[in-house]
Amino acid sequence: MSENRRYDREIATDILAVGGGGAGVMGAVAASEASVDVVLVMKGALGRSGNTIMAGGSFAMDGPSAVSYGYDGDPKFTKDEWFEEIVKQSFYLADQKIVETYVERAAPLVKQVVDWGRKAKQYFHFFKPGGFFTAGKSISLALRQGVKEHPDIKVIEDVVITDILTKDGRCVGAVGVDVYSGEIIVFKSKAVILGTGGFQPFSFKCTVSDMTGDGMGIVLRAGLSVADMEFLLFVPGVCLSPSLHRGSIFPFLYNILTATFPDLVAPRMKNAKGEDIGQKIPPDHLALAMGSEWMKLVFTYWWGKEIAAGNGSPNGGIYFSFDHVSGEEFIAGTKTLVSMMPIWYKTPWKFQGDDFSDMRDAVLAGEPWEVGLGHEYSNGGILVNEKTETKIPGFYAAGECSTGCFGAHRVHDALVEMLVQGYVAGEVASAYIKDAPEPVIDMAQVESHVERITAPLSRAKGVSPTEIQRLLEAAGDKGFGFVRNEDRMKAALADVERIRTEMIPKMAVKSKTRAYNQEWIESLGVENLVLCIESGLRAALMRKESRGTHIREDYPEVDHDNFLVRYCHTLVDGKLKQTTIKPNVTRMPLPTGKMANIMEYALSCEPKFKNAAGSSSAGVPV
């Protein structure tokens, strides 16, 4: 390292795209197609990092576009119908300009990824009205194929971006850390596109473990705003036991596929008392749930009631029971599933690299599957407009790290969100840099960032980042889960405030080397995660109603008159400042009045268009 600077390397480019999932890749692809010099940097390996690989995964286009591409689509499922569904399912908190961009730009980008996937020898199954079902790994391999077809994209793997750099109010680059060498890298660029994904605030995970809200932390430290951070989407049916499979979404996928394949034996949902929860759920709620992504909210609501009432399993979930059928009937029903799994995973009963034949054997032995609610997606994130622009020129955010498309509840596809917003960001950034001045790095700003990120290395002793991570997850579990109330949220917020103000400043790592120091890399993540959880809890406390995935025991009503607003947070002098904005409206006026609960609202939004499985037009509910 030079004596005159605190960093090890400098990399110059026109556009820096950050993230190994769809948003980062599509941003880089769009820049490449605009003949712009672009660097794509990510935490892990291309095609093997980020949350994209964990998807179930379906994505869709409108029906007329599907027909135009030669698929058996439903022409009645128009872009206008799609737009209306998304806005209603967002509980009217979606930015309608962002939704318009989503539905208008989706089709050619979805088709492009399908084409890349087929070149990569991956299978994509089409279903009406305009959807495709595949595996998360197939999406990731398709995106990797896309980068391969744009060889001018420079790919840099295993680098964590920690902060952006600005000069005269413009974005001029970013600071990053090489995970393996420990080198601190300054990226000098005219524009930066963040596609860094969401945040994971709980101890129980069904996503990759490094979803620490990096993009949200970066923008808050840059003086920008996040919004909608109280809204977290849960998956009903994630393995709680055995420990070998803990966190897998295999039971969830099994359950939803029973709506597609009639021979597949549907499990019965039972609580710890052996009571059939399905018998407690009104038939119209079950009809809405089965075969659509409304399943996630419906079962979060009803399972949450059972668990909150003390009727949960030992690990805080419920049971999928098959005691209503014989072993022979169960095996007979799985023939289609067993024949399909090798299409993506080479071996029957194998999913995402794990062998689930032991769960088949458990059913044959008369044992239920213990399953729970796992958080999969953060609706909230960086506040952007329909062009993915932030308030800093040259700085963009796309995909799950941003917010505005889905509001309080996501039913339609996050995969489409990342493709569309990533590509739009690449287009807009490419146009911006044509007239942007050459970037000039403020060395004092670099010094400040390096001082912060290396502080845990310089302290002789202090609090372990691993301990802070554990405490943050405990706070998330306490007050930020699928059923909330005032007392638990206040207690959790007090814990998080104490962690941020008293423990983070004392954070220290045992090893002082920077090379492959995982504890140091963990320290970078918890600084972001603490801001995400605090902003989410503050918004949740202010929202004295239930809306979308924000379910309060103490305020069950959906209150359009008082809470049809978006809560935003900005970091000012070390404290999170809260403001509100109204959702951006283009076509659909905001409703008024109140509804008794989120289920009453959900029933008013049942989709007009369903595929053969009964699924909403979003497709197979993954």
Per-residue CA distances from 565 to 185, 540, 572 (Å): 40, 12, 21
DSSP state of 11: E
- State yes or no: pLDDT of 325 exceeds 80: yes
- Tell me the β-bridge partners of 16: 39, 192
pLDDT for the residue 601? 97
Query: pLDDT tens digits for 364-393?
Result: 999 999 999 999 999 999 999 999 999 999
Counting every residue written for the chain, the total comes to 622
Q: How many CA atoms lie within 13 A of 613 on its CB side?
A: 27
pLDDT for the residue 258? 85
Looking at per-residue confidence, does 134 or 169 come out higher? 169
Q: What is the rounded average pLDDT for all residues in the chain?
A: 93
Query: pLDDT tens digits for 519-568?
Result: 999 999 999 999 999 999 999 999 999 999 999 999 999 999 999 999 99
Reported pTM? 0.95
What is the mean pLDDT of the segment spanning 422-432? 98
Q: If you search the block for the tokens 């490094």, which residue do you land on? A: 210
What is the mean pLDDT of the segment spanning 158-187? 98
pLDDT for the residue 380? 98
Query: pLDDT tens digits for 276-301?
Result: 999 999 999 998 887 677 899 999 99
pLDDT for the residue 52? 64
At residue 3 the predicted structure's pLDDT band, cuts being 50, 70 and 90, is very low
Separation of alpha carbons 231 and 245, rounded Å: 27
Please list, in sequence order, all residues whose beta carbon lies within 8 angstroms of the beta carbon of residue 598, skipping any fewer than 6 positions away.
91, 297, 301, 546, 547, 548, 551, 556, 558
Separation of alpha carbons 305 and 298, rounded Å: 11
Q: Sign of the C-alpha dihedral, residues 243, 248, 254, 259? A: positive
Q: Are 270 and 322 in contact (CB under 8 A)?
A: no
Q: Are 396 and 390 in contact (CB under 8 A)?
A: yes
pLDDT for the residue 4? 54
What is the mean pLDDT of the segment spanning 501-514? 97
- State yes or no: pLDDT of 86 exceeds 50: yes
Indicate the burial class of 183 (C-beta count within 10 angstroms; 0-12, 13-18, 19 or more).
middle
Separation of alpha carbons 215 and 528, rounded Å: 8
CA angle 458, 463, 467 (to 5 degrees): 130
- State yes or no: pLDDT of 616 exceeds 50: no
CA 502 to chain CA centroid, nearest Å? 29
Closest Cα partner for 599 from 372, 306, 373, 300? 300
pLDDT for the residue 518? 95
pLDDT for the residue 119? 97
- State yes or no: pLDDT of 335 exceeds 90: no
